[in-house]
Amino acid sequence: MSAIWKRQVDLSELNRMGENCLVAHLGIVFTRIDAGSLEAEMPVDARTRQPFGLLHGGASVVLAESMGSIAGYLCVDTGQSVVGIEVNASHHRAASSGKVRGVCRPLHLGRTHQSWQIEIFNARDQLCCSARLSVAVLG
């Protein structure tokens, strides 16, 4: 793990944090944490598709915000927390089946706010969505 992570957790702990909330409802699973990034997968299925059979843009945003919020939490000291204050996403390519994989990396880790870049890829490792999340550090 890198110096960016101030809280040491493993993948099973990260996935337990998502139980009984939207993260679990959409099937989001954290799959990797390394020196400077966090990864998760989300199925493209009936829970995450829009009526035309494609991955719903809102589901991509939920994946991005979930990843950035967890990453932000892992980068603050005990007694602090983070809350999302802005999220934006650009959708580049559609996905209609399988899973998508999100990769979350820090753009800025400040004392009062953080910015995270989240890129979402399809099963062919093609970029489907680029998102940025800003969080405020509380506490």
CATH number reported for the structural domain that contains residue 45 in this entry: 3.10.129.10
CA distance 31 to 10: 10
User: Residue 74 is part of which domain span?
Assistant: 11-138
Out of 39, 41, 65, 119, pick the active-site residue: 65
Residue 70 covered by a domain: yes
Residue 77 covered by a domain: yes
pLDDT given for residue 3 in this prediction: 80
pLDDT tens digits, residue range 13-35? Answer: 999 999 999 999 999 999 999 99
Residue 111 covered by a domain: yes
Residue 2 covered by a domain: no
- Would the CA dihedral through 132, 103, 24, 11 be positive or negative? negative
Residue 76 covered by a domain: yes
pLDDT tens digits, residue range 81-102? Answer: 999 999 999 999 999 999 999 9
Number of domains in the chain: 1
Q: Give yes or no: 41 in active site.
A: no
Residue 48 covered by a domain: yes
Continuous segment of H or E residues that includes residue 14: helix 11-17
